[in-house]
Amino acid sequence: MVKRCSLCGASAVTWIPESKQYLCAEHYLEYFERRVLKTIEKFRLLKNVKKLLIAVSGGKDSTVLLYVMHKFFSREINLVGFTIDLGIGKYSRESTEIAIRNYKKLGIEYIVVNLKRSYGFDIDDSVRFRKWIKRPPCSICGIVKRYLMNKVALEINADAIATGHNLDDLALFMMSALQGGKVEELTKLTLYNPSINGFVAKIKPLGLVSDKETLLYALISGLEFYEEECPYAPQRGLRTTIIKALDVAENNHPGFKRYFVLNMIRRVIPKLPKPQGRIMRCAICNMPASNNVCSFCKIRARINEVIQKYRNK
Ligand code: SF4
Ligand code: ZN
Ligand code: ZN
């Protein structure tokens, strides 16, 4: 039997277990947008933001983020898209092209940094020379993204950086940090990270909508996004186990992830001691750093040294 939208009677595209409602395409888009706007309002994510850098990989989350921010805020906020071509073969080529097409379609100003061209190495190099670099690609990639996002945001005087992390990402990061006893990491897992020690503020407007909800929004809206996963995404290990455990909890108790994340953000994280990092400047690039030389400059120097030494091996 065709399910009907609980609000208008049109044919339904989804069931929302938390509110026990069937929704048609039109009401689903409204539901999703309302959730994101409510998150932005409740957590005051755009307070005093006149210029916003939006980190866009070309995947579904950041594409939805770009689209929603443009739809509701492009008149009052100067939005600037930011994409890094990480040099992960076809994945980077195609996702960067999609990001650029979306910027052009929406008429959004944008900046693309090609890691190899600008800094002499890319993520594929870190895999090719892994034997000597001895660090997994995701750890290098994380350093690169954090550094470049902040650098570009400072250069263009952005008041904040928006990232496409969704509810599932936050729930996973929180569980992993709890399991590993990583208190400092936990303190950063909020929807709004204020500007501190030379680092630009960061916001996560999609932090309370799930992976599935974001995908459905992108599909119904007909957005163009890159669908394949990064070839270096970890496929096994503790991360996968935690994802599965969270899905079981969500299936048995609809709304579990949302309550878990909200309780962490509202009741647990505010009680944790705030990180007391010193303000330092990297001796090489002059960007904010927690040591004499920042993690990006260290890893850049190491990879470039290894490339020079072993390029023919
Ligand atoms: Fe980077 Fe790892 Fe994500 Fe791939 S999976 S984009 S290497 S962090
Ligand atoms: Zn409807
Ligand atoms: Zn540096």
Looking at residue 275, what is its pLDDT?
73
Residue 232 is given by DSSP the state T
Note the pTM of the prediction, 2 decimals.
Answer: 0.95
Q: CB-based burial of residue 8 (10 Å sphere; 0-12 exposed, 13-18 middle, 19+ buried)? A: exposed
Q: Please answer whether residues 129 and 158 qualify as being in contact, where contact means their C-beta atoms are separated by less than 8 angstroms.
A: no
Looking at residue 207, what is its pLDDT?
98
Looking at residue 277, what is its pLDDT?
66
Amino acid at 95: S
Looking at residue 1, what is its pLDDT?
74
Q: Please answer whether residues 200 and 193 qualify as being in contact, where contact means their C-beta atoms are separated by less than 8 angstroms.
A: no
The alpha carbon of 253 and the centre of ligand 1 are apart by a number of angstroms equal to 30
Strand partners, 110: 81
- Which atom of ligand 1 is nearest to 234's Cα? 5
- Residue 100 Cβ < 6 Å to ligand 1: no
> Mean pLDDT per 10-residue run, the chain (313 residues)?
93 93 97 98 97 98 98 98 97 98 98 97 95 93 97 98 98 96 93 92 97 98 96 88 96 95 96 80 92 95 93 74
Looking at residue 2, what is its pLDDT?
82
Looking at residue 80, what is its pLDDT?
98
Neighbours of ion ligand 3 (CB under 5 A): 282, 284-285, 294, 297
Q: Please answer whether residues 75 and 107 qualify as being in contact, where contact means their C-beta atoms are separated by less than 8 angstroms.
A: no
* Angle separating helix axes 238-252 and 167-180, nearest 10 degrees: 120
CATH 1.10.760.10 at 43-273, yes or no: no
| Closest to 82 (Cα-Cα) out of 68, 93, 69, 96 | 96
